[in-house]
Structure formats: C-alpha cells, structure tokens
Amino acid sequence: MSKTSRGNFFEDFEIGQVIRHATPRTVTSGDHGLYTALYGSRFALQSSDAFARSLGYAHAPIDDLLTFHIVFGKTVPDISLNAVANLGYAGGRFLAPVFPGDTLSTVSEVIGKKENSNGKTGVVYVRSTGYTDSGTEVLDYVRWVMVNKRDAASPPPEPVVPDLPAALDPQSLGSAVPLLDTSNWDDDLAGSQFRFADYAVGEKIDHVDGMTVEEAEHQMATRLYQNTARVHFNQHTQAHSRFGHRLVYGGHVISIARALSFNGLGNAFHIAGINGGRHVGPLAAGDTVYAWSEVLDKVEMEGRTDVGALRLRLTATRNLPCADFPLKDGEGKYLDGIILDFDYWALMPT
C-alpha cells in the first residue's frame, strides 16, 4: 500500500461519505498580517481591534474570505487533487466570527455524484463545514468539482444531484455578526459615507483600481491556506499543460476583487453568505485584475436594525477595466476577460 496519496478519483466518492480533512489550523495575527499584505484589504472592522470593540466585538475578526480559504484548503487533498475543474459554489453561510487563536478544521460530506457523458470524468458535490476546536461551526458551503475517473471502464453510478438554492434567504444569515452598536460606526474611519439606505437595487459600481498578480504572491497565498492543488505550484509540469503556466487559485481572485470593492462598498463590512460563485476563466501571473459590482437585492434583517443585507454580484476581469460593466455578450456568453462571477450577501450598517 502506497504511503503517498495521489488523491481521490470519481469512483472513490460515495453519497453520504463523510471525510474528516487533515491539518487543523490555528489562525493567528500572522495569517491576518499576510492577508493584508496579499490583498491590501481596508475594511475597518477586520483591520482594527479598536474599531471592532467600539461596535461590540471582543476584537477584530479575521477576514471572512481568510476563513473561507483555510476551510476550503483542507478539502483539496481529499476532494479536488484530481479535479479537472472547480465548477461552482453555492449555499455558503458564515456562521460565527473567527478570531486569531481559533483553530479551524473541516469536514465534508459527499452529497451528489454524476458521471459525465464522456465517461472519463464526473461531477462530485460536497458540503464542507468548517468548525473551531470548541465545536462551533463557522462556515458551511457546497461546491462541485469535475473529477477524473480512475478507470474509464468503470460503470456510471446512479446520478444524484443535490437541490441547491439559487440564493440564500438572508434572514438565515448574520449569525457571525453580534448585534452592533452602530451609533459608534464612524464613516470616516470606515472609509465610506454610504450606508445601507444609499444603495439601490440595480445599481452598478465600478471599483476602478486594478491589481497585477505575481507568481510569488498567489503561491504564498495558496500555501498559506495549505491548499495543495498542483496547478498552482508546479511550473515544471504546467509548462506542458494547455495553459503553459501555473494557474492562480480561484479564491485568490475572489479576495482581490473583494479588496478592490472597498472603493464603492467600504461599509459592506461582512460577507454573510455566498449564493453562488463561478470561476469563468483562468488567471495567470502578470495579469491585472479589475472588478465591478451590481446590487441584485437589498433586504432589511428581521429582528435587527443595526445592519441590512445587500445582495451583490461581484464580477472580476483580467486586463479589462470595468467602467462599462462588462459581463456577457448578446448570446449570454461571458465576455473574454471575465474570470469571476460571484454572488453574495453583504451586511452593511443602516
């Protein structure tokens, strides 16, 4: 029996199977500092203990996407080492704040499985849950990946495709945010004069700035998350891939776009839920990421007057400024240069 894991293939997954992923991870202020250095995020709540305390937090929580990447990274060796593509996310809920000192682990359940018509690959659906060492669930989400079969001759399983919501009910969200004393919310320090009431459904916001990505940056980020997917790290083999180069971890793109979105959404301090996400195109080192957002919906939160929920569609592009909000062509196909289509609920003070 080989000591070395080469990852799971399509045949290895069974509906209902539960996988406890390796390497629990204590999040520290070191990770937080690296997150800032990698993305330059400027949301005040995550940046400042003093700002966080003034609102009712014990101190500053880590960035929601840092939680996401760490929880996600643990699943890679078991779920997607032989993935052809990371097809999508849905139903992601941020359930509790994460602070430096918390230890995160991830468990996944296989909830769907369907062979592709080519007989060589299949789609696997997993629900992954991140939790702290005290057992608090901090995040769960569904993702589905296209995975290679070990043997094209193995028979196709009975297809099981989970029923996934197009969008989460925002009333089910927000548990990662304590009831805030927003009388202390300081718009100057937060960096935006615009509150929940100032945004309109249908509004589009160009985030203006662009960020060029370097190999060392995306590799350091992806290793920080202990994500081991080979396409991100091995130029010796990637040189012979159809791309010819390493691929940037899709989550790195989400974090860049989210950080860029501060310019226009400075008070959208928390990602409460991920309705869906799709990595539409690859990103390579040397490319410059731009982003724009559209307000898809806005909802008052039942039982709390401190914050409201904005449903935002965050589009990221590659070498394509977003002043004219590029997305799809007349036939509904994504335009060249679109790399991310990400739909989430953000909370914003009222």
CB 291 within 8 A of CB 207: yes
Stretch touching its own copies by CB under 8 A, among 110-118, 161-169, 263-271, 274-282 = 263-271
Residue with tokens 């409460």: 272
Looking at residues 111 to 170 of the shown chain, list those that interact with its own copies (rule: CB under 8 A).
Answer: 133
Binding its own copies (rule: CB under 8 A), the pick from 172, 212, 241, 305 is 212
Stretch touching its own copies by CB under 8 A, among 176-184, 234-242, 328-336, 342-350 = 234-242
Binding its own copies (rule: CB under 8 A), the pick from 214, 324, 329, 336 is 214
Q: How far is the CB of 198 from its own copies (least distance, A)?
A: 8
Q: What are phi and psi of 335, to 5 degrees?
A: -70, 155
- Indicate the residue among 11 and 209 with the shorter CB distance to its own copies: 209
- Indicate the residue among 25 and 93 with the shorter CB distance to its own copies: 25
Q: Coil, strand, or helix at residue 37?
A: helix
Looking at residues 285 to 314 of the shown chain, list those that interact with its own copies (rule: CB under 8 A).
Answer: 286, 288
Binding its own copies (rule: CB under 8 A), the pick from 236, 242, 303, 332 is 236
Q: How far is the CB of 166 from its own copies (least distance, A)?
A: 26
Sign of CA dihedral 223, 225, 228, 230: negative
Looking at residues 50 to 89 of the shown chain, list those that interact with its own copies (rule: CB under 8 A).
Answer: 50-51, 59-60, 77
Q: How far is the CB of 50 from its own copies (least distance, A)?
A: 4
Binding mask 4-33 for its own copies (x = CB under 8 A): xxx-------------xxxxxxx-xxxxxx
Q: Which amino acid would we find at residue 199?
A: Y
Q: How far is the CB of 175 from its own copies (least distance, A)?
A: 22
| The token pair that represents 99 in the structure block | 């602070």
CB burial class (10 A; 0-12, 13-18, 19+) of residue 332?
A: exposed
Binding mask 271-290 for its own copies (x = CB under 8 A): ---------------x-x--
270 binds its own copies (CB under 8 A): no
CA distances from 43 to 85, 164, 256 (A): 31, 31, 13
What is the Cα–Cα distance from 54 to 61, expressed in whole angstroms? 13
Binding its own copies (rule: CB under 8 A), the pick from 14, 103, 179, 244 is 103
Stretch touching its own copies by CB under 8 A, among 84-92, 136-144, 165-173, 227-235 = 227-235
Binding its own copies (rule: CB under 8 A), the pick from 112, 266, 273, 308 is 266
43 binds its own copies (CB under 8 A): yes
End-to-end CA gap in the chain? 59
42 binds its own copies (CB under 8 A): yes
Size of the site for its own copies (CB under 8 A): 84
Give the 3-state DSSP-derived string for 124-183, with helices as H, strands as E and coil as C.
EEEEEEEEECCCCEEEEEEEEEEEECCCCCCCCCCCECCCCCCCCCHHHCCCCCCCCCHH
DSSP secondary structure, 240-295, as one string = TSSSSSPPPPHHHHHHHHHHHTHHHHTT--EEEEEEEEEE-S---TT-EEEEEEEE
Query: From the CA atom positions of the chain, what is the Rg in Å?
Result: 20
Q: How far is the CB of 230 from its own copies (least distance, A)?
A: 6
Binding its own copies (rule: CB under 8 A), the pick from 140, 217, 306, 343 is 217
Q: What are phi and psi of 126, to 5 degrees?
A: -130, 145
201 binds its own copies (CB under 8 A): no
Composition of the chain by helix, strand, coil, percent to 5:
25, 30, 45
Q: How far is the CB of 325 from its own copies (least distance, A)?
A: 13
